[in-house]
Structure 1
Amino acid sequence: MIVSRNLSFQQVLFYAWKSLLYFSTLSIAVYFLHYELAIPNLTVPFEAVALLSTALAIFLGFKNNNAYDRWWEARKIWGMLVNYSRAWGREVLTLGIDESGKPSEELAQWQRRLIYRHIAFVHALRVFLRQRRAYNKYQDEFFETSNTYDDIRPFLTTDEAEEVLAKDNPPNYLLMIQGRELQEAYQRGWLSDYRFVKLSQTLTEFNNHQGMSERIKNTPLPRAYSYYSRIFVFLHGTLVPFAFVDFLGVFNIPLAMLINFIFLSLDQIGERTEDPFENRPGDTPLTSISVTIEGNLKEMLGETDMPEKPAMIKGIVL
C-alpha cells in the first residue's frame, strides 16, 4: 500500500511509458505534417474533442469509484480479521479451563497450538490470495519479500505442515484442524457447551473473512469497464493533437501530452486499484497486517520473540 504523499516518477513511467511514447510521437507527427508539409484539413473540431473529454471523465470516474470500493472492502475485511484474531487469542486463553482447577501443562500446550495454528492460517491466507500473480521485473527490484507457504512452517509441526500444504486450499484446511482440536477439548472437559460454541463461532468468522476475500480475488470488476476505458483513452488521446494544432502550433505538443497524461493516469489508477490482492505497490498491505496479528498473538502468549515488521520501501508498505 502506498502511504507516501509523493509518488516516484519511476513508478509512473513503468506503467505509462509506452502510451506516453505513442502520444508524444503522434503529437510531433501531427505538428510536422500540418506545418512542415502543409497538409490541409488535418484538424478535428475542438467541440467534438471537448465533448468526448467530458464523457470520458465521467466514465473513468465511475470506474475508479467502483475500483476504490473493492480496495476499501478488502482493507475492511482484513481489519476485521485483525479484530477477530485478537478475540480468538483471548478466548482460547480464557475459555479453556481444566476441571481440576490447577494449571495444566497439557492445556497450555493446547492453547499455544491453537494460537500458533491461527498465525499459520493468517500467513497461509495471505499467500493463498497472492500466489497466482507473476512478479514483474520492477516489482522484483523493490519487493524482495517472502510470499510462499514456507512462512507457515514455524507455526506447525512438520507432519501437520506437510498435511496442510498437500491440500488445494491450505487456509481452509487449517480451520478444519482447529475445529477438530475444539472438539477434542470439549470431549476432555476443557470446554463447556457454551464455550465450545463460542469458539466455533469465531472460527466461522475466519471462514467468512476468507470467503469475502476470495470473492474479491476471483470476481474482477466487469471486464468491459477495463477494456472500453483503454479503448476510449486511446481514441481520445489520438484525437487531442488534431484539435489544438491549428491554434497552438508547436505548443500543441506539450499541451496534448499533459491532457493525455491526465486521462491515462485516471485510467491506470482504476486498473491498479480494482484488484487489491495482487501484491502490487498500491494493494492491501497483507504482509504488514499478517505480521501485526502474529505479534499481537505472541504477546498474548507472553512471548518475547516478536516478528520484525516489514520496512517501508520507497513510501510503500507491503
Structure 2
Amino acid sequence: MLIRRNLKFSVIFYYTWKSMLYYLLLAVAVYLLHDYFAIWKLHIPFTAISALSTALAIFLGFKTSNAYERWWEARQIWGSLVNYSRAWARQVITMIIPEGQAQAAAVKDLQYRMVYRHMAFVHALRVFLRKKHTYNEQGQEEIYEEPNEYSDTAAFLIPAEYHLFTRKHNPPNYLLELQGEDLRRAYDQGWLTDFRFVKLEETLVEFNNVQGRSERIKNTPFPRQYSFFSRVFVFIHASLLPFVFVEELGWASIPISITISFVFLCLDLIGERSEDPFENRLEDVPLTALSLTIETNLKEQWGDPDFPAKKHAPGGIVL
C-alpha cells in the first residue's frame, strides 16, 4: 500500500511509458503530416471530442469508484481479522481453564498451540490470497513485490501439522479444522463449559467468514468488460486528440494532446490497479503489515517478547 503523498516519477514512468511513447509518436506524426509536410489535412471538430471526453470521464469515474469500493471492503475484512484475532487469543487464554493443578501443563500446551496456530492461519491466509508472485505481461516481476511462501508459517506449527498443512488444497481452512478439533478436545476434557465452547466456536466461525469474504473478492474479478472497454476508449480518445488540436495550435498540439491523454490514462490505471486488492502489488491491501501486527499483538498477549521485525519497502510502500 502506498503511504507517501507524492508518487515517485520512476513508478509512474514504469506503468505509463509505453502508452506515452505511442501518444508522443502519434502527435508528432500528425503535426508533421499536417503542418510541416502539408500532405494530410484531416481535422476533427472540437465538439466531437468534447462529447467523447465527457462520456469517457464519467465511465472512468464509475470504474474507479467501484474499484476503490473493492479495495476498501478488502481492507475492512482484514481489519475485522485483526480485531477477532485479539479476541481469539484473549478467549483461549482466559476461557480454557484446567479442572485441577495436574492439568495445568496440558492446558497451557493447548493454549500455546491454539494461539500460535492462529498466527500461522493469518500468514497462511495472506499467502493463499496472494498465491505466488504476480507477473506483468512480459513475465517480469512487478516492482516492489515481496516473496510470498507458506514457509512463513513453519515457526508457528509443530512439524507434523506443517507437513500436512503444506499438502492441503486450502491450507488456511485446514488450520481452522485443527482449531475446531482442539476446542472439542478441551470441551471433552472439561476445560470448557457449554457457554465458553460456543463463544470460542463463534469466533472461529468469524475466521471462516473473513476467509470466505476475502476469497469472494479474490476469485470474482472486476467485470472484465469494464476493464477492457475502458482501455479501448482511452486508446481511441488519445488517438483522436492530435487531430483535434493540430489545426488551431500547430506544434503546441503535441504537448497538449499528450497531457490530456496522460490524465485519462492515469484515471484508467487508478481503477485497474485498485480493483484486485490481493495481488501482492504496491497498491494492494498491506496484508504483510497486517499479518505482522496480528502476530505482534498475539505474542504480546501470550507473553512472548520475540516480536517480528517490521518489513520496510522503498518508496513509502507498506507491504
**Could you tell me whether the CA contact under 8 Å between 2:122 and 2:291 is conserved in 1?**
yes
Conserved in 2, the CA contact under 8 Å of 1:88 and 1:202? yes
> Any residues of structure 2 matched to 1:1-318 within 5 Å, and which?
1-100=1-100, 104-136=104-136, 142-143=144-145, 145-318=146-319
How many Å apart are 1:202 and its aligned residue? 0.4
Cα drift, residue 15 of structure 1: 1.1
- Segments of structure 2 that go 5 or more residues without pairing to the other structure are none
Residue deviations 1:133-154, cap 9 Å, x none? 43458756533x3310001110
Aligned pairs, number: 317
SS of the aligned residue for 1:104 comes to: helix
Deviation digits for residues 150-205 of structure 1 (CA, Å, limit 9, x no counterpart):
01110001111011111100000100010000000000011011111110110000
User: Take 2:280 and 2:184, find their aligned partners in 1: how far apart are those partners?
Assistant: 36
Offset from partner CA, 1:37-69 (integer Å, 9 cap, x none): 213531111110011000000000000000000
Q: Whole-Å Cα distance in 1 between the matches of residues 210 and 134 of structure 2?
A: 24
Q: 1:63 to 1:214 in 2, by over 3 A?
A: same
Q: Say whether the 8 Å CA contact 1:139–1:280 is kept in structure 2.
A: no
How many angstroms does 1:100 deviate by?
Answer: 1.9
> Are the structure 2 counterparts of residues 254 and 140 from structure 1 closer, same or farther at C-alpha, using a change threshold of 3 Å?
closer
CA distance in 2, matches of 1:16, 1:262: 11
CA distance in 2, matches of 1:96, 1:188: 10
Shift of 1:102: 7.3
Alignment RMSD (CA, Å): 1.4
**What is the rounded CA distance, in whole Å, between the counterparts of 1:272 and 1:168 in structure 2?**
28
* Partner amino acid, structure 2, of 1:125: L
Conserved? CA contact 2:134–2:141, under 8 Å: no
Name the TM-score, length of structure 1 as normaliser: 0.97
Structure 2 Cα separation of the partners of residues 256 and 312 of structure 1 = 35
SS across alignment from 2:81: helix
Q: Please give the per-residue CA displacement for 1:59-115, whole angstroms capped at 9, x wherever unaligned.
A: 000000000000000000000000000000000000011112678111111101000
The runs of at least 4 consecutive aligned structure 1 residues that moved more than 6 Å come to: none
Residues in 2 aligned to 1:234 and 1:266: alpha-carbon distance in whole angstroms? 13
- Residue type of the alignment partner of 1:159: A
1:244 positional shift: 0.3
Q: TM-score, normalised by structure 2?
A: 0.97
What amino acid does structure 1 have at the position aligned with 2:236?
L
Q: Secondary structure at the match of 1:72?
A: helix
Give the AA of the match of 2:144: F
How far apart, in 1, do the equivalents of 2:143 and 2:237 lie? 34
- Per-residue deviation, residues 241-266 of structure 1 (Å, max 9, x unmatched): 00000111111000001000000000
| Structure 2: distance between partners of 1:246 and 1:140 | 41
Percent of pairs with identical residues: 56
Secondary structure, counterpart of 1:142 in structure 2: coil
Mapped to 2, the partners of 1:196 and 1:40 lie a distance apart of 80
